[in-house]
Amino acid sequence: MAVTRGFQGRRSTAESSQLPPGQYLTRDFPVLSAGPTPYTPLESWDFTVRGAVDTPVTWSWEEFRSLPAESFTVDIHCVTKWSKLDTSWRGVSVDALLGAASPRAEYVTAFCDGGYTTNLPVADLRGGQAWVVFEYDGNPLPPVHGGPARLLVPHLYFWKSAKWVRGLEIRADDEPGFWEMYGYHNYGDPWREQRYQGD
Ligand SMILES: Nc1nc2c(c(=O)[nH]1)N[C@H]1C(S)=C(S)[C@@H](COP(=O)(O)O)O[C@H]1N2
Ligand SMILES: [Mo]
């Protein structure tokens, strides 16, 4: 069945929730990490937008937490075929973070404690469709799920939602990230089933 989505991404409701092709529903919250969980103390945590920007910006945890935050409910879809519907989060819109730095190029590499990276078009982080989240289901984001903060880009497969994210590097070239180098699709739209290169 065709699914129509606006630029804002698909905000789910109980009535409109649907599974992308090839996905099954889970009520668990599986943990998928390519390495050990890093535990960065909040005193040494910061978030940076750098690279091809007018103004490189770094926020301490305290500064980041004083930015306007929003609570929202979205569906998430992992390339390993599980989906969770109506997951609740709280975080800072990436629009606010990009707005402070003013990107001058079209691509982003999200970078993380532990060395994980993932690449996306800047456009996919704009327009209220991406957040840096610090709460899940009303509680601080657990470290295994990316706490203290992770990127959340629910309209793309979940590997784009970088856990333990520490910043965004803006670049002119679309450099493949960790899983993208290992053959995952460069873009990863679950509604077009873009799981692996060639899909
Ligand atoms: N830093 C980091 N972020 C990451 C990963 C990772 O290994 N390291 N795995 C990705 C993948 S493949 C998935 S499916 C989701 C899993 O998030 P979860 O463990 O909260 O379910 O995180 C993504 N973000
Ligand atoms: Mo994944």
Q: What is the pLDDT of residue 5?
A: 38
In a domain, 47, yes or no: yes
Residue pLDDT, tens place only, 72-101: 999 999 999 999 999 999 999 999 999 999
Mean pLDDT of 50-72: 98
In a domain, 33, yes or no: no
Strand partners, 73: 88
CB of 91 within 8 A of CB of 134?
Answer: yes
CA of 54 to the centre of ligand 1 (A): 30
- Token pair 């493949």 is found at 176
Q: What is the pLDDT of residue 12?
A: 46
Counting residues of the chain whose pLDDT is more than 70, the rounded percentage is 91
Q: Which domain holds residue 155?
A: 2-12+19-27+43-192
CA distance 170 to 178: 17
In a domain, 35, yes or no: no
Q: Is 26 in the pocket of ligand 1 (CB under 6 A)?
A: no
Q: Is 42 in the pocket of ligand 1 (CB under 6 A)?
A: no
Number of independent structural domains in the chain: 1
Q: What is the pLDDT of residue 17?
A: 53
CA of 162 to the centre of ligand 1 (A): 6
What confidence tier does 187 reach under pLDDT thresholds 50, 70, 90? very high
pLDDT at 195 over 50: yes
In a domain, 124, yes or no: yes
CATH number at residue 123: 3.90.420.10
Mean pLDDT of 64-72: 98
Q: Show the tokens assigned to 87.
A: 């997951």
In a domain, 171, yes or no: yes
CA of 173 to the centre of ligand 1 (A): 23
DSSP symbol at 131: E
Q: What is the pLDDT of residue 44?
A: 97
CB of 119 within 8 A of CB of 109?
Answer: yes
In a domain, 125, yes or no: yes
Residue pLDDT, tens place only, 20-41: 999 999 999 999 999 999 999 9
In a domain, 199, yes or no: no
Q: What is the pLDDT of residue 53?
A: 98
pLDDT at 188 over 80: yes
Q: Is 114 in the pocket of ligand 1 (CB under 6 A)?
A: yes
- 41 contact partners, CB below 8 Å, separation of at least 6: none
Q: What is the mean pLDDT of the chain?
A: 93
Q: What is the pLDDT of residue 18?
A: 83
In a domain, 198, yes or no: no
Determine if the pTM surpasses 0.85: yes
Distances in Å between the Cα of 157 and the Cα atoms of 42, 58, 116, 118, 120 are 28, 27, 16, 11, 11
